[in-house]
Amino acid sequence: MPLNNRMRIRVPASTANLGPGFDSIGLAVNLYLTLEVEQSNQWEFYSANQELADLPNDEQHFIAQVAIGVAKKYGKEMSPYKVKVASEIPLARGLGSSASAIVAGIELADIACELALTREDKLLLATELEGHPDNVGASIYGGLVVGSYQQNEVDMLSFTNLPFEAVVVIPKETLLTKDSRDVLPKEFSRSEAIAASSTANLLVAALLSENWQLAGKMMERDRFHQPYRRPLIPFYQAVENAAKKNGAFGTALSGAGPTVICFTEKAKGRKLAHSLQQLFSEMSVKLLSIDYFGSLVEDCEPNSFQTKKLV
């Protein structure tokens, strides 16, 4: 369907890795990037979010660039759109903001150019742009995703009905994924690779069999990235200790950080969130549930949220 009327695109945030599942495991959570789009004679971006205020307001906007690039890949020309953006996903904090923007751009190109992309097509396009499938997979499919990106293919499974929830501790400071990847080793020895991948394998088995104690142990045993990134996150240990004392079964760095994510069994998150907010009052503490819908496109009423033009 060509995009003549106003449409809404909604994409969930995501947390990647869950400890040892580096570049492979992702979980969609209930914070959203929402776009209202309608055809226009030029690209225009509007938002009421202060955090998005410094982004370009024209064709240079990241979401426009993604949409234009995807259309081009399919031999189509992307016509310009007026885009209103609302986001609950903090930028560069480890909650998949760039992945959600990539998925939104792909969804926009799909509906605008009638590409009829499948979820698998969107996953491959998004993975090529992001470099790994964990965040984008969760944002597209929803739920818990486990994926592998090799030889220009992405294989992924997604899981629903997961009886756990999460509390995130989000600092004010940003940490760009690029900077947080720069501190990681380029290579691992065979024994390190076996330890790291066996930990990730067992994490998946533990989560899916609801063995929370073992899942938490595997989150802490990550060998791929957390040992190298922890020095960048001075409050990590304090959050982990407090989370354990207050009912979390596991703690991990959310994506590339600096947000720290703590997991509890269902219905135990509220108490944990309350305790962590009291202890870490200078940070934003949020109780999150799992999103099982993934990205959605629907018709919408005009002006369903307030915005102003980006400058």
Ligand X SMILES: N[C@@H](CCO)C(=O)O
Ligand Y SMILES: Nc1ncnc2c1ncn2[C@@H]1O[C@H](COP(=O)(O)OP(=O)(O)OP(=O)(O)O)[C@@H](O)[C@H]1O
Could you write out the DSSP letters of every residue in 75-121? Answer: T--PPPEEEEEEE-S-TTSSS-HHHHHHHHHHHHHHHHTT----HHH
Question: Among residues 127, 158, 177, 264, which is the contact residue for ligand Y, using CB under 6 A?
Answer: 177
Question: Among residues 92, 140, 200, 273, which is the contact residue for ligand Y, using CB under 6 A?
Answer: 92
Q: In sequence order, which residues have a C-beta less than 8 Å from that of residue 66 and are 6 or more positions away?
A: 101, 102, 104, 105, 106, 108, 109, 129
Q: Per rule CB under 6 A, is residue 305 in the interface with ligand Y? A: no
Determine contact, residues 240/9, Cβ cutoff 8 Å: no
Interacting residues with ligand X between 58 and 117 (CB under 6 A): none
Q: Per rule CB under 6 A, is residue 256 in the interface with ligand X? A: yes
Nearest distance from residue 23's CB to ligand Y, in Å?
Answer: 11
Compare residues 54 and 281 and give the one whose CB is closer to ligand Y: 54
* 73: its two tokens: 């890949």
Nearest distance from residue 286's CB to ligand Y, in Å?
Answer: 15
* 306: its two tokens: 């307030």
- 44-47 vs 81-87, strand pairing mode: parallel
Q: Per rule CB under 6 A, is residue 95 in the interface with ligand Y? A: yes
Compare residues 8 and 268 and give the one whose CB is closer to ligand Y: 8
* 138: its two tokens: 């969760």
Return d(Cα 43, Cα 62) in angstroms, integer: 12
The residues that touch ligand X, with contacts defined as CB under 6 A, are 16-17, 22-23, 132, 134-135, 177, 181, 225, 255-256
Query: Which residues participate in the annotated binding site for ATP?
Result: 90-100
Q: Which residues contribute to the site for ligand Y (CB under 6 A)?
A: 16, 33, 55, 62-63, 87, 91-99, 101, 135, 176-177, 255-256
